[in-house]
Amino acid sequence: MLDNLHGKFIVLDGPEGCGKSTQLRLLAETLQSRNVPILCVRDPGTTRIGEQIRTILLNPEHAELSMRCEMLLYMAARAQMMSQIILPAMAGGKLVLSDRFVSSTLAYQAGGEGLSESDIRAVADIALQNRWPDLILLLDMPPERSFQRLNRARDRIEQRPPAYHSQVRENYLSQARNDPVHHRVIPADQPIEAVHQEILAAVLGLA
């Protein structure tokens, strides 16, 4: 049954502190134990070029970065990762698991400087070569709770005001409401193993 996961593309997304990285690691370990070939990536990053773009994006010193430039930089990093890593991995039969993806841009940049969801999707179509994720797992948590989990200095985007992060959460949930076929909302404010089991059930349902 799990052969159907080969060549698929799954994203784990959600606000800072929701446990994406932990859950991606647990999911990868579980599926690898069931003989599913896995490639894990992080967005932005993974490629040499993508990691340099990530440094620019998250550096608090770059306060003048406009929202449109921010969106285009994220898409540039994705374009490189799609061409260099993701598409070849899927063609080789691997299941690709990504920590964040376009769903983040639709949550964090939509509405800024008049950027619409359709604007972002149009640019994403180019960056992704029209190969969108097969499943997006949204780890949902109120921002006031998720920020309590952060045990490091906040990056440029995390330093934005609480009202911004509340809107980010609503933008995530709106994506799931508008496209329930490709999204699953997972309550992240519960024990790690419980979250993992909900994620695993959603992924096995895709298979």
pLDDT digits (tens, 9 = 90+) for 38-75: 999 999 999 999 999 999 999 999 999 999 999 999 99
- Which residues touch 56 (CB under 8 Å, ≥6 apart)? 62, 65, 73
Q: Whole-angstrom Cα distance, residue 107 to residue 98?
A: 16
Neighbour count for residue 127 (Cβ, 10 Å): 20
pLDDT digits (tens, 9 = 90+) for 68-109: 999 999 999 999 999 999 999 999 999 999 999 999 999 999
Q: How far is CA 41 from the centre of its chain?
A: 10
pLDDT interval class at 125 (50, 70, 90): very high
Please name the fold of domain 2-206: Rossmann fold (3.40.50)
Domain ranges of the chain: 2-206
